[in-house]
Amino acid sequence: MRDYQAIYREWLENPYFDEETKAELRSVSGDENEIRERFYTDLEFGTAGLRGIIGAGTNRMNKYVVRRATQGLANYIKKQGGEQKGVAIAYDSRHRSDEFSEEAALCLAANGIKAYRFESLRPTPELSFAVRELGCIAGINITASHNPSNYNGYKVYWEDGAQFTPPHDKGVTEEVLAITDMSVCRTMSRQEAEQAGLYVTIGQEIDDKYIGHVKDAIVNKEVIRKMQDQIRIVYTPLHGTGHIPATRVMRELGFTHVFEVPEQALPDGDFPTVSYPNPESPAAFALGLALAKEKDADLVLATDPDADRLGVYVKDSASGEYIPLTGNMSGALLCEYVLSQKQAAGQIPQDGQVVKSIVTTNLLDAVAAHYGCSLISVLTGFKWIGRVILENETRGQGHYLFGMEESYGCLIGTYARDKDAISAVASLCEAAAYYKDKGMTLWDAMLSMYERYGYYKEYTKSIELAGIEGLAQIQKILETFRKEQPKHFGPYEVQRIRDYQADTVEDLKTGETGKTGLPKSNVLYYELNDNAWVCVRPSGTEPKIKFYCGVKGKDLADADRLVEELNADLEEKVNAIIH
């Protein structure tokens, strides 16, 4: 371990660091553990960029760490000869997002690279769109997505509008890691940058074009015109960036009964009404569900702070209660709706594609097959779905129709290359109108899918293991699973093991081996009998290890039972390793 106390003293003594930073560091003087956590390592610049707790130190999110990341990006852009194209920058409602985005813009400008910075907070998918619309070489988004309020982050996008993938992720990372002295990171005043034409403020023009593309993704405008005043929608942006774009697109499509949760409408980095601003969390829906019952809403929608993920509750007409849809359920429901409408309009090409991450429900495979589309599986991270779109464009073959991850994210259309909750809001409202016209709720539509394709159910569990000790435990879990190779999970037998780190697929019955065909990643995937599966992987953005499992039951109760048995055995195996 490096001498973190020496680096701590360097930050206190070096005139490069401002007095506010030094005052924060003096406040932890004598706290050995706190100093170690802040300085024992650099905040990891990984394949998703940066994400960490806001504060002073090399292992925290602050303006100096942001400058270093941006200087590394600028160095890489110059080596690629892309400095004339510029970089688009967006930010969300989190604490210091405005400041960090300004620091990034001024660092780029000081390196002779034009920064196109949004005038105020914008959703992640709009940043992805802006990169391509403006012809930029890269994009930066200051956001920590759905993390708690003490976090912030820094995502890097490349010129195709997706978060960067090989070789650019490795290239930028190497440039960032090569900067060992933060004082070499360049900056300049905003006035100087604007006068030099290297700082450009963007806003409404990009907004209008982005919203136009979201609306163009609607496949059945007629059913919206017919049912627009009969659908009642409750929506919450959870204090994030969704407030203006989501309400705008619903209004412009013609929905007349949209009720926004007033306590959560305006941006607030404290996220005062939720401890965890994540639409995966039932607690995030408490206020929305109360309003839904008051307004007799058909569906309740919640976007996360950077508006790339969408959580959904739908009304069950039989019980009158609101039922939560997992990301797997809402994504599969949207895919089924979009493909059914395209099929009815004769718009599914022979090379139509549905793309999903490896930890996403197998229900999507069944939907894709039903509509004659090829199913493409990619690593976790929406950038890999964006990569498929880029490969289609490069080869001139393959027609992307729908892509999703289990973590409440999907993309309809190719105007953006990241998951888009604003588009998902529009399409789910459209689907609600379509099914209501047929006398069905979205829950009825979900049950109809299960009856057609089978009762698929999935479960995801995350274990947070923070700090140095936590990182060691995560590695121990993965190493143990690799070494001991479980033969059973609950009532299921392991048939094949995919080790994406080793790039191997092993058939346990025949002994045959092959390759995964995907980039290397520290992920283990177990194919079980009867369409069941288990996957183990460390989070790419948080100090967590994640476990996924999926089953196919005879009915909903059977699927619930099977997934509980599978998960119980998985937890027992993990606890035996940790304890």
Catalytic residues: 145
Sheet harboring 199-202: ordered strands across?
50-53, 151-158, 138-142, 87-91, 115-118, 199-202
10 Å Cβ neighbour count for 336? 25
Pick the closest to residue 520 from 379, 406, 358, 390 (CA basis): 379
d(CA 465, CA 470): 4
d(CA 398, CA 46): 30
d(CA 261, CA 302): 10
- Tell me if residue 234 falls in helix, strand or coil: strand
10 Å Cβ neighbour count for 230? 14
**Torsion sign across C-alpha atoms 508, 509, 510, 514:** negative
- Tell me if residue 22 falls in helix, strand or coil: helix
User: DSSP letter string over 31-84?
Assistant: -HHHHHHHHSSPPP-BTTBEEEEBSSSTTSB-HHHHHHHHHHHHHHHHHTT-TT
What letter represents residue 274's amino acid? V
Bond before 167 cis per omega within 30 degrees: yes
Pick the closest to residue 145 from 535, 527, 551, 419 (CA basis): 419
For residue 217, what is the DSSP state? Answer: T
**How many residues are present in the chain?**
579
d(CA 407, CA 328): 8
d(CA 549, CA 534): 4
Token couple for 475: 């590695």
User: DSSP letter string over 413-434?
Assistant: SSS-SS--HHHHHHHHHHHHHH
d(CA 378, CA 519): 9
Sheet harboring 257-260: ordered strands across?
257-260, 232-236, 299-303, 310-315, 322-325
